[in-house]
Structure 1
Amino acid sequence: MTSDAEIWRTARDLIAEQGAKRAEAYAKKQIDEMASSANFVGNLVWRRIHRAIKGLNGGATAASGGRR
């Protein structure tokens, strides 16, 4: 299982490399690719990364479990 620290580090790195909006779009693309290839573990990891990106961008709500 991927640790929370790895998820948040990946989210921060993606935002630093691609910017906030592109990082979120990239994560969504990865989620779709993992789903279409039936990679359930990869799908869950990318969902966590996407949620972390939204949290770091301030776009997550308390209901979605994002950090502010």
Structure 2
Amino acid sequence: MDNSSDAEIYRTARDLIADYGARGAESHANRQLTEMTLASNFVGMLVWRRILRAVKGMNSASASSSATSRRR
């Protein structure tokens, strides 16, 4: 198992969203996951899967809070 902490994963996800935007961050993380898969880098796959999941969660939470703000 890898030793990337949850804080590191979420920090990376946050930085990707800041650098690439919501959709771009998901695309970037997906590409990295694909590269790790093709290279049979199983630790890298685990890390990028966690990052992708975090990016999707942050995007979902952001979309939900934006929709709630618009309804007010």
The answer to whether TM tops 0.5 is: yes
Q: Which residue of 1 aligns with 2:10?
A: 8
Calculate the aligned-residue CA RMSD, in Å.
0.9
Name 2:65's counterpart in structure 1. Answer: none
1:3-49 deviation digits (Å, cap 9, x = unpaired): 00000000000000110000000000000000000100000000000
Aligned position for 1:41? 43
Greater Cα radius of gyration, structure 1 or 2: 2
Moved >2 Å (runs of 4+): none
Unaligned runs of 5+ in 2: 62-72
> What letter corresponds to residue 39 of structure 2 in structure 1?
S
Choose between structure 1 and 2 for higher RCO, CA contacts under 8 A separated by at least 6 residues.
Answer: 2
Higher helix content, 1 or 2: 2
Give unpaired runs (5+ residues) of structure 1: 60-68
Does 2:53 align with 1:25?
Answer: no
d(CA) in 2 for partners of 1:34, 1:58: 25
Sequence identity of aligned pairs in percent?
Answer: 61
